[in-house]
Amino acid sequence: MTGITEAAGMGVVATLIIIFARKELTWFLFKDALTRTFKASGTILTITFGATVLAGAYSLAGGPKYVAETILAYDLKPMYLIFMMQIMFLIMGAFMDWVGIVLLAMPVFLPIVLALGFDPIWFGILFCVNMQVSFLS
């Protein structure tokens, strides 16, 4: 019995063998596809690394606590704040990957959500639904 990862790897190898045997893919096209894949992966990893460093520095500086205290001091209705967060997630989702949004926005918004008394699991599900909608834009 194989796992999902091993089965996917065997599928890729089988596909490559078939494509090379039918001569539908040349070594030049294969090399070009690998180069594009590495560039895209490098870009995603760079964004993830930068967002992690930024979120870590922001958290160490006390940013989430300060923002949460400032926003909660306005005494707005909790659902209004959740609605505004979802609008921000939707706008950010049009330009960024979900990983970057999680790393940048969650250290800011999660303390606010917890201070408002909402369940973090509920907020996470709401975030995931919002990310699915933002991917359509």
The secondary structure of the chain in percent helix, strand, coil, rounded to multiples of 5, reads 85, 0, 15
Rounded to whole angstroms, the Cα distance separating 60 from 55 reads 9
CA dist 132 to 68, 98, 101, 135, Å?
26, 9, 13, 5
Q: What is the model's pTM? A: 0.62
State the pLDDT at residue 135. Answer: 81
Per-residue pLDDT tens over the stretch 67-109:
888 988 988 899 999 999 999 999 998 888 888 788 788 888 9
CB 70: neighbour CB atoms within 10 A?
10
Element containing residue 61 per DSSP (H, E): none
Task: Assess whether pLDDT exceeds 90 at residue 31.
Answer: yes
